[in-house]
Amino acid sequence: MALKREAIDEALLGGELGKAQAFAMRLLERFGEALGATRFINIAAAHIDGCLYHGKVSLDFVDRLNSLGGKVRVPTTLNVGSIDLIHPELFRGDDNARHDGRRLMEAHLELGCMPSFTCAPYLLQQRPQQGQDIAWGESNAIVFANSVLGARTHRYGDFVDLCAALTGRVPYQGLHVPQNRRARLVFNIAPVPDLSNDALAIAVGHIIGARAGDQIPAITGLPASISEDDFKGLGAVAASSGAVALFHAVGLTPEAPTLEAALGDATPEAVVEVSAADIRATLRALSTADDGATLTAVSLGTPHFSLSEFDRLLALLPGFKANSGVDIYVNTGRDTHAALAARGDAARLEAAGITLVVDTCTYVTTVMKRLDGVIMTNSGKWAHYAPGNLGVDVAFGSLADCLNSAAAGRVVRRFT
C-alpha cells in the first residue's frame, strides 16, 4: 500500500527542494513501503553512520548526492570515520585506504553535516529531547537516544539515515510509534556485592542483548547510583550481543517510572532472573585471556569517552606509571577532546603516556601500534568485536582494573 503523502512529501518527490532530495525521498518511500508504514513524519535531527569507509559504494552514494547539489535539511551529526583528522599521523593503513577514508568523511561535510565524527552524539551540547522524533544510525547511539533520552528513532542503517537527513522525513513506524515502545521482557537483576557500576552495566547489557535479541526489555534491580556513562556502556553491548534498540530501566529511565508503565500495563512475555553468579560468569566470558596474561595495550572509550569518564581516569593518574611494554589509547569525540585541551588535561594525559584518538575508534581502524598480544578494555562493545575485527586476545575489566593492569604489565582484575 502506498504511503499517504503530505504537501512537503509531494514537493520533495517533485524536485521542488532539489534533485538530491527527490532521489532521497524516492528511496525513503520504498523503505517505508517495505516496513508497512502508511505516512511520513518530520524529524528534528539525524546522525549518519556511513562515514566509515567499507568500499567504493559508500563513497559513490555520497558523491551522487553531492553531484545533485544535496544539502541536509535538519541538524545532522556524523559517526566515526576511518581517519583521525586531528591526529592523522596515527593512521597505520595504506595510502589508498587513507585517501578514500578521508574523502568519504569530507564528502559528508559537503552535504552540510556537522564535523562531529563521534559514535556518541548524545554527548554533544545539543542533544534530542524526550519525545522528539529523530533518525539516528549507529547502534549504541540509537539505544541511548531511545532509552536514556526518551527520544524516538528506529534503526536507520547506512544510506537510509542520510536520505532522512536530506529530506527531514521518515516513515512513521517502528519505535516512532508509542505503542511499539513498551517492554516485552523483564530482567530482574540481583545485587552483586563489591562490583563497580561500570562493570555491572556491561554484564547486564551483554546478558540482555543475548537473551532479548531485538525485543524491548525492562530492567529492575539496577542501583540508583548508575550513571549515564554506565547506561552508555550497557546499551552499547546490548546492541552488540543482540539487537536491542530500546531498554527501560525501572525508576531510572524516562519512560519507565514504574514497571507497569514500562510494560504498558501488559503482561510480560517472559521474566528472567539474573543472579550474581550470572553477572560474574558473563564478565569472565567477555575475555579471551586469563588473569596474569602479559599486556600489549589498553583501549578505552568505545563508545567515545565523556568528560566525566575522563575525570574518573584523571583521578587515577596520580602515582600511575604505565609499564614500558603497554600502550594506552582512549577514543573520544573531538568536542570532548577540545574541552580537555582547553582545561589542560589533554596534555596531562599525554604526559602520562596516553594516546588520545578522535574521529575514529581503535577497533575499526588501524591505529594501534601492536596487535601481537593481549589488549585490555573496559568496553563490552570493544571486547565483543575486537577479536574478530583485529584478531587479538582481549581481557575485559573495569576502568580501575585497566589502569592497574597497565601499570603491572599483565592482566589484574578484582571481579574474578
> What would the pLDDT profile of 314-335 be if each residue is shown by its tens digit?
999 999 999 999 999 999 999 9
CATH number at residue 225: 3.40.1060.10
Q: What mean pLDDT do residues 22-34 have?
A: 97
| Total-model pTM | 0.96
Q: 120 and 11, same structural domain?
A: yes
pLDDT of 93 > 90? The answer is: no
Q: 270 and 298, same structural domain?
A: no
What nine digits make up the cell of 201? 552495566
Q: What's the pLDDT score for residue 2?
A: 79
pLDDT, tens digit (0-9, with 9 covering 90-100), for 360-401: 999 988 899 999 889 999 999 999 999 999 999 999 999 999
Burial annotation 35-53 (CB, 10 A radius, 16+ → b, else e): eebeebbebbbbbbbbbbb
- Going by C-alpha positions, the residue among 62, 24, 2, 46 that lies closest to residue 11 is 24
Cα separation of the two ends of the chain:
56
What nine digits make up the cell of 64? 551522487
- Cβ neighbours of 190 (radius 10 Å): 12
Domain that holds residue 383: 286-408
74 assigned to some structural domain = yes
Q: What's the pLDDT score for residue 1?
A: 61
Average pLDDT, the chain: 96
Residue showing cell 519507565: 256
2 assigned to some structural domain = no
The answer for residues whose C-beta is within 8 angstroms of residue 10's C-beta and 6 or more apart is none
Q: Are 117 and 358 in contact (CB under 8 A)?
A: yes
Q: 244 and 109, same structural domain?
A: no
Q: 161 and 22, same structural domain?
A: yes
What nine digits make up the cell of 351? 604526559
Q: What mean pLDDT do residues 46-68 have?
A: 96
Q: Are 19 and 68 in contact (CB under 8 A)?
A: yes
Residues 13, 205: Cα–Cα separation, whole Å? 41
Q: What is the DSSP pairing of strand 327-332 with strand 354-358?
A: parallel
What nine digits make up the cell of 349? 594525559
Q: 165 and 17, same structural domain?
A: yes
Q: 290 and 269, same structural domain?
A: no
Q: 244 and 311, same structural domain?
A: no
Q: What mean pLDDT do residues 243-248 have?
A: 98
Residues 211, 247: Cα–Cα separation, whole Å? 13
Of 178, 195, 226, which marks where a domain is finished?
178
Alpha helices in 145-300 (DSSP H): 160-167, 197-212, 228-241, 259-263, 276-285
Q: What mean pLDDT do residues 154-172 have?
A: 97
Measured CA distances, 251 to 207, 217, 257 (Å): 20, 14, 5
Of 252, 284, 316, which marks where a domain is finished?
284
43 assigned to some structural domain = yes
pLDDT of 416 > 60? The answer is: no
pLDDT, tens digit (0-9, with 9 covering 90-100), for 230-239: 999 999 999 9
267 assigned to some structural domain = yes
Q: Is cis: bond before 303, omega within 30 of 0?
A: yes
* 365 vs 309, higher pLDDT: 309
Q: Are 247 and 143 in contact (CB under 8 A)?
A: yes
The answer for residues whose C-beta is within 8 angstroms of residue 131's C-beta and 6 or more apart is 150, 151, 152
Number of domains observed in the structure of the chain: 3
In a 10 Å sphere around its CB, with 0-12 CB exposed, 13-18 middle and 19+ buried, how is residue 73 labelled? buried
Measured CA distances, 226 to 44, 183, 222, 282, 410 (Å): 29, 20, 7, 19, 29
Phi, psi of 148 (to 5 degrees): -90, -35
Residues 276, 330: Cα–Cα separation, whole Å? 30
Q: 205 and 153, same structural domain?
A: no
Could you tell me the strand order of the sheet in which 270-274 lies?
248-249, 217-220, 185-189, 270-274
The answer for residues whose C-beta is within 8 angstroms of residue 368's C-beta and 6 or more apart is 92, 297, 299, 327, 329, 362, 375, 390
What nine digits make up the cell of 305? 569517552
Q: 51 and 162, same structural domain?
A: yes
Q: What's the pLDDT score for residue 103?
A: 97
pLDDT of 152 > 90? The answer is: yes
1 assigned to some structural domain = no
416 assigned to some structural domain = no
Q: What's the pLDDT score for residue 414?
A: 78
413 assigned to some structural domain = no
